[in-house]
Structure 1
Amino acid sequence: MKHIVILIPPQTSILDIAGPLEVLSKTNDYIQSTNEQSRTFYITHLISMDNSSVVQTSCGMPVICEGGFSSIFYSIDTVIIAGRGIYNQNIPQNILDYLRAIVKENSKTRIASVCAGAFILAETGLLNGRKATTHWMLCDQMAFQFPEIKVERDPIFIKDGNFYTSAGISTGIDLTLGLVEEDLGRNVAMKIARILVLYLKRPGSQSQFSTILMIQSTDNLPINQIVQFIQEHLSEDLSVEAMADRLSMSSRNFSRVFTKETGISPAKYVEKVRVEAARRRLEESNLSLDQIAQECGLVNANGLRRLFLRHLATSPGIYRKNFGVKL
C-alpha cells in the first residue's frame, strides 16, 4: 500500500484535488475488481497547510482534511501539492521545512505539484538545478522568481528525479496517471484513463498547447468552419486550393486570412492536426502504420514516418513502443 498525501493550500482549485483523487480511487477500484485478494493499493490523505480541518477552495466548496503534517504517523510514498490559490500569501516555514525533511529522510519519496503548487515546491529549494513546469501563464513569473530552476513552458508535466511538476489545473490528472503508470504499468494507467472517459492518456512531453485548442480562439466563422472540416476529414484533400474552394476564396486570400486569424499557415495547421491524430491512434490502437497513415491523409507509412521525424524527432514505431498500449 502506498500513502499519498495531498497538501491543500487555501483557495486552491477543487480540480487540483479532485483530479488526482479520482485517478487514485478508480485505480483502487480497478485493482479490487481484477484481484482475487481484494486490496487497496493507494491510501489518500488530505492535509492542510495550517493544521485546520477545513480548507476553502476557489469555487467556494470546502474540503475536509485530516489536519496538518503533524497528524501524519505513516510512511509517505508521495506528496502532491495542489495549486497555490493566494500568491501574495507567505508559505508557512514549517511547511517548507517539512517537505525538505521528507526528502532528507527518504530520498525515494516522490514530491509532485499541480499547477501553481510548483511555487511552493520551488520555495523549498528542492527544484534548484532541476527542470520544472507550471501553468503557462505563470512560467515567466516562476523563471524570474526562481532563476536556479530550469523552467520549461511546453510540457504538461515533467519528471526530474523524484520531483514531478505539472502545468494547468487538469494536468494533475495526467501527472497522477503518470504515477500510476510508474507503479503499475502503462496498461493499467490506460485502463484508468478509459474508465475516467478521458480523450487519451497524454504523455508528459505533450505540449500544453493543443493545436486544435489553440485555433478555437478565433471568432472568424469561415475559418472556424474550415478548422472543423479539417478535424473531421483528415483523409481527404486538404490542400490550400481545396480548402480555399470550400470557402469560395482565392488560395492567396484564404492563406492570408487563415494565418492572420490563427498565427499559423493552413498547411502547417493541417500537418500539426495530422500529427496529433496519428499520435492518438498509435497510443490507443493496434492499427498498422499504413492504416494510420491513410486515416490521417498521409498515403502510406513512409509519409507518416517523415511527418513524425519532422515534428517529433522520432519515428512512429519508436513512439508506439514508448507510449502505445497493448490491446
Structure 2
Amino acid sequence: MDKQSTIKHIVFLVPPNTTLLTTVGPLEVFSKAIDLFDSGRGNMNFRYQAHVVSMDKGKQINTSSGLPILSEGAYTEIDYPIDTILVTGLGRYLDPGQKGEMLEWLKNQSGSIRRICSVCSGAFVLAEAGLLDGRKATAHWSKNEELSKDFPSIDVQIARIFIKDGNIYTAAGITSGMDLALALIEEDLGQSFALDVARWLVLYLKRPGNQSQFNTYLDCKKIGHPTIRKVCEWILDHLQEDITVEDLAEQAAMSPRNFARVFVRVLRITPAKFINKLRVENAGRHLIETQLSLDEIAYHCGLKTSENLRRQFLNFFEVTPTQYRKSFQSSLSSLYDAELK
C-alpha cells in the first residue's frame, strides 16, 4: 500500500458489561476487510484501521458473557480523526458522572465524524446525546418500545434490522451489527469487495436493512395469551384464504370488537397488519427457497397478485420481490461457490 494512502479510523466505543458479539461481530467484519486490503484487494487510496476504545477510564472491558475485552484505551485518549464510530450496547452501567462526560464528548465529536452508528442498545447512547432527535432509528426488538417511550422525538422503527438516516446508522443487534458493517464496507468499496468479506466469514452479503428482526412464525409460539396464540397459529394455516376479524373472533369465541381490542393489547398490532406481515414474511421465504413465479407466490401466501406482492415488498423492505430474491440467492450461491474452491 502507498504510504500516502488515507487511513479511515473505525472506532468501536464499548461500554462496560457489553454484549460481546455486538462488538466483536462487526469488528471481525472490518478486520477481514483489512486482511483483504493487505493481500492486495480493494481501493489502495485508503485503508481501514479499527480501534476498540472503552467508554470508561479502564482498558479492560467486562462483557455480559464473562469474557473480557482488552481495549487500546479510553475514548479520551483518541488523537486521530474518526471516520466511523460504532457505539455498542449496553451503555447503562457507566457511573453517571463518567456517562455525562462521554455524552458531551460524543456530541462535540459528532460534527466531524462521517458516520455515527450504534448496535443494539447502543442506540440509547446516541439518543441521550441528542443525535437521534427527529430521525428514524431502531434497537433490539426487546428495547424498541422503551426507546420510543423514553425518547418520543425519535421515529422508532419496530423490528428493523438496521436503518440509515443521514449519516446516522442504528442496528438492531446482536448479529445485525455484522450486517451493518458489511453495508458500510459496501458503501465504501462496492458490492464485489463486500462479497469477498462475506465469503470469508460465511455470511450473507446483504439482508435488507428493514427486514424483520425476528420470524413472526416463531414469535407466535411465544405469545403468552393462550387464546391469542391459538388464533395466530390458526392464521398461519389459513394465510391463503380471505381472513376477517369475524373469522378470528369466531376462533377465539369472542365478539369481533372484544377480540380486536384484546389482540391489539397483547401484540401491539392490529389483526389486519399482523396477517399482512405474516403473508409478506411467508412470501420472502418462498422467494429464497423456491423457484415459483411471483404470481404463484402471491397466490400461495394470500397476497393474491404479483402487483400486490410487489407493493407490499416495497412498503416493508424498500426493494422489489425480484431484487429481494436476487440479493439472497446470489449471496447463497456465492457462499456455496466459495466453499467448493
Give the equivalent residue in structure 2 for 1:307: 309
Gaps (5+ residues) in structure 2? 1-6, 242-247, 253-266, 331-341
TM-superposed CA distance for 1:29, in Å, is 2.9
Query: Which letter does structure 2 place at the counterpart of 1:71?
Result: E
Q: Distance in 2 between matches of 1:317 and 1:169?
A: 24
Residue 35 of structure 2: which of 17, 29, 32 is its match?
29
CA distance in structure 2 between the aligned counterparts of 1:131 and 1:217, rounded to whole angstroms:
28
1:112 to 117, 126, 144: 117
Residue 51, structure 1, aligned to residue 57, structure 2 = yes
Task: Output the CA distance in 1 between the equivalents of 2:64 and 2:168.
Answer: 26
2:193 aligned residue (165, 188, 191): 188
Structure 2 CA distance for partners of 1:51 and 1:323, relative to 1, 3 Å: farther
**Contact conserved, 1:155 with 1:204, CA < 8 A, in 2?**
yes
Give yes or no for contact 2:211–2:317 (8 Å, CA) kept in 1.
Answer: no
Counterpart of 1:249?
A: none
Kindly indicate whether the alpha-carbon contact (under 8 Å) linking 1:278 and 1:296 is maintained by their aligned counterparts in 2.
no
TM-score (norm 2): 0.69
Quote the residue 2:334 is aligned against: none
1:3 correspondence with 2:34: no
- Give TM-score, length-normalised by structure 1: 0.72
Alpha carbons of structure 1 residues 206 and 144: separation in structure 2 relative to 1, 3 Å:
same
**Partner letter of residue 26 of structure 2?**
P
- Please state if 1:272 is matched with 2:280: yes
| Preserved contact between residue 136 and residue 154 of structure 2 (Cα < 8 Å) | yes
Amino acid at match of 2:104: D
Q: Which residue of 1 aligns with 2:134?
A: 129
Deviation track 1:245-304 (CA, whole Å, cap 9, x = no partner) reads: xxxxxxx9xx88xxxxxx889x968733442125547xxx9x8xx6576689869xx944
State the match for 2:88 in structure 1: 82
Structure 1 contact 203–323 (Cα < 8 Å) conserved: no
Shift in alpha-carbon separation, 1:295–1:123, aligned structure 2, 3 A: closer
Q: Deviations over 1:129-187 (max 9, x none)?
A: 11111112212222222222222213111111111111132211111122112111234
Shift of 1:100: 1.3
Code of the aligned partner of 1:76: I
Aligned residues: CA RMSD: 4.4
Q: Is the 8 A contact 1:277 1:296 kept in 2?
A: no
- Give the 3-state SS of the residue equivalent to 1:169 in structure 2: coil
Distance in 2 of aligned mates of 1:184 and 1:132: 25
Partner residue, 1:233: none
TM-superposed CA distance for 1:38, in Å, is 7.8
The code of the aligned residue for 2:8 comes to: K
Give the SS at the match of 1:5. strand
Distance in 2 separating the partners of 1:166 and 1:22: 16
Alignment-mate amino acid for residue 102 of structure 1? Q
The structure-2 alpha-carbon separation of the partners of 1:316 and 1:87, relative to structure 1 and needing over 3 Å to count, comes to closer
User: Quick check: 1:155–1:207 contact (8 Å CA) kept in 2?
Assistant: yes
Q: Is the 8 A contact 1:31 1:40 kept in 2?
A: no
Cα distance, 1:210 vs structure 2: 2.2
Residue 103 of structure 1 is matched in structure 2 by: 110
User: Does residue 68 of structure 2 align to residue 62 of structure 1?
Assistant: yes
What are the superposed Cα offsets for residues 225-254 of structure 1, whole Å, 9 maximum, x if unpaired? xx9xx9xxxxxxx967xxxxxxxxxxx9xx
Q: Secondary structure of 1:205's match? A: coil
Match of 2:23 among 17, 20, 35: 17
Task: Call closer, same or farther: CA 1:200–1:274 in 2, change over 3 Å.
Answer: farther
Shifted more, 59-68 versus 35-44: the winner is 35-44
Q: In structure 2, what is the equivalent of residue 155 of structure 1? A: 160
Tell me by how many angstroms 1:53 deviates: 1.2
CA contact (8 A) 1:16 1:114 kept: yes
Asked if residue 139 in structure 1 is aligned to residue 148 in structure 2, the reply is no
Give me the whole-angstrom Cα distance separating, in 2, the residues matched to 1:54 and 1:158.
Answer: 30
Unmatched tracts of structure 1, length 5 or more: 231-237, 241-251, 257-262
Q: Counterpart of 1:159 in 2: which secondary structure?
A: strand
Please tell me whether the aligned partners of residues 137 and 154 of structure 2 are also in contact (alpha carbons under 8 angstroms).
yes
Say if 1:9 and 1:49, in contact at 8 Å, map to a contact too. yes
- Give the corresponding residue for 2:100: 93
Distance of aligned partners of 1:147 and 1:306 in 2 relative to their CA distance in 1, 3 Å threshold = closer
**What is the aligned-residue identity percentage?**
38
Residue correspondences, number: 298
Give the stretch that moved more between structures: 269-278 or 138-147. Answer: 269-278
